Amino acid sequence: MTEALLTIEAIGNRGDGIAFHEGVRHHVPYALPGETVRAQITAERVEILEIVAPAADRIQPECRHFGACGGCATQHWAGEKVAGWKQERIAAALARAGLSPAIAQTLDAHGEGRRRVTLHIRQKPGGIEAGFMRARSHDLVDLDSCPLLVPALAPAADLARRIGHVLRGITKPLDLQVTASAAGLDADIRGAGPLPEALRLKLIALGAEAGLARLTLHGERLLEPRPPFVALEGTEGMTAFLPPGAFLQATARAEVLLAQLAADKLGRAKHVADLFCGLGPFGLRLGRKMKVTGYDSDKGAIEAFQRSIRANPGGKPVTAEARDLFRRPLFAPELKVFDAVLLDPPRQGAEAQVKEIAKSKLERLVYISCDPESFARDAALLTKAGFRIGEVIPVDQFRHSAHVELVADFTR
């Protein structure tokens, strides 16, 4: 154990300050560039004992749990600095891949807040706790509120504790995903495994009392008085149905921005392949101007997409098909029928699909990514195949975290 004065030189990819002591690089949680801190250094971690000289852009965190809860990394840093750092993260990832495209200023997409949340449920000697993991710990912060969530999710932590109480005889760790839908809260219990009928009936009664739109157990419906759906903002009354445990863009504002940017970059395309389409928030919008064929491995999401297509008639033909694009990407010959592709893969990127696009004669691709590193890898493959990368636009829907989305177009 060592106590030392550290000068913070930069911010790491996870939002920790970077400092050097006796030639060793250290990550210093909650420290900012330019600060001098007195810190305790151990083999496992560095902990700030005192901020000797704070940075001018250090601000007061908005949540009393900041520093204990592991959900946020940068509540103490001014927003414009965080936006610049996320822009720099993307530039650095692309530079490591040998690319240097123009990168726009980061667009703030927090909007009204996050509309979905996953809460951990744990049994403690004093009762049931529900919340987020503590920073660098396996313990929980028992949540009362989170300022990053939309107001409709305010009951989520209490709901999780009530479910934990019903399932208190189960020793396994439990999670509850809650989504704020236009029909009410949509909740999915995970980790419980099969349950006896008596517990299922208790959960159904709890869901009805709480006024949930739907309650599911590992995606299996226990209660659904109202099918959950979301309004597609920026459209004239279009809606999208949600499958149980649905993936949804974290904020409604981000979904609108990403959809607008994608549509602008797709230009006058006539037939678009919407790859990793999910439940169809982009494909449904694009279908008002162009023919869309969506593909995703999540069968539940595809079924919801198909249902939404039927519920939103008009525009151009839109279809959706279940297909594992990691194991069976759209092959180069199959891409001949499309004049553009919209690609929105998960965090690991879409290397297999990108290799097929590189082999094809496709001339336009719009790529939405939630990970700068996997995007840079895929972008390098595309540019090597003759694509030109356009302006990269960062979109920040994960305020106070290290995560950042981006949109870029490729042409040849």
Q: Looking at residues 92-116, what average pLDDT do you find?
A: 97
173 and 43 assigned to the same domain: no
Output the CA angle 129-400-131, nearest 5 degrees: 5
199 and 129 assigned to the same domain: yes
Evaluate whether residue 65 is within a structural domain: no
The pLDDT score that the predictor gives to residue 179 is: 98
CA distance 162 to 143: 13
The pLDDT score that the predictor gives to residue 327 is: 97
Containing domain of residue 190, as a range?
116-223
Evaluate whether residue 106 is within a structural domain: yes
The pLDDT score that the predictor gives to residue 137 is: 81
| Cα dist from 11 to 192, 302, 396, whole Å | 39, 40, 17
Largest Cα separation within the chain, whole Å, is 68
Catalytic residue among 72, 146, 277, 370: 370
Contact 183, 227 (CB under 8 A): yes
| Cα dist from 22 to 4, 45, 46, 189, whole Å | 10, 16, 14, 48
Mean pLDDT of all residues in the chain? Answer: 96
The pLDDT score that the predictor gives to residue 138 is: 83
387 and 294 assigned to the same domain: yes
96 and 121 assigned to the same domain: no
206 and 334 assigned to the same domain: no
The pLDDT score that the predictor gives to residue 320 is: 98
The pLDDT score that the predictor gives to residue 135 is: 84
Evaluate whether residue 68 is within a structural domain: no
Residue 128 predicted with pLDDT over 90: yes
Evaluate whether residue 74 is within a structural domain: no
Contact 108, 79 (CB under 8 A): yes
CA distance 213 to 178: 11
| Cα dist from 262 to 82, 192, 250, 314, 353, whole Å | 24, 39, 17, 20, 19
Strand partners of residue 176: 119, 189
Of the listed ranges 100-104, 196-200, 245-249, the one predicted with least confidence: 245-249
Q: What is the CATH number of the domain that holds 125?
A: 2.40.50.1070
255 and 318 assigned to the same domain: yes
Q: Looking at residues 362-374, what average pLDDT do you find?
A: 97
| Cα dist from 286 to 89, 234, 270, 312, 340, whole Å | 30, 12, 10, 12, 12
- Indicate the residue among 189, 223, 257 that finishes a domain: 223
96 and 16 assigned to the same domain: no
CA distance 408 to 375: 10
- pLDDT tier at 223 (50, 70, 90 boundaries)? very high
178 and 265 assigned to the same domain: no
Residue that wins the pLDDT comparison between 225 and 399: 225
151 and 288 assigned to the same domain: no
- pLDDT tier at 124 (50, 70, 90 boundaries)? confident
Q: What is the CATH number of the domain that holds 6?
A: 2.40.50.140
Domain count within the chain:
3
Evaluate whether residue 240 is within a structural domain: no
Q: What is the CATH number of the domain that holds 398?
A: 3.40.50.150
69 is catalytic: no
Evaluate whether residue 242 is within a structural domain: no
Give the length of the chain.
Answer: 412
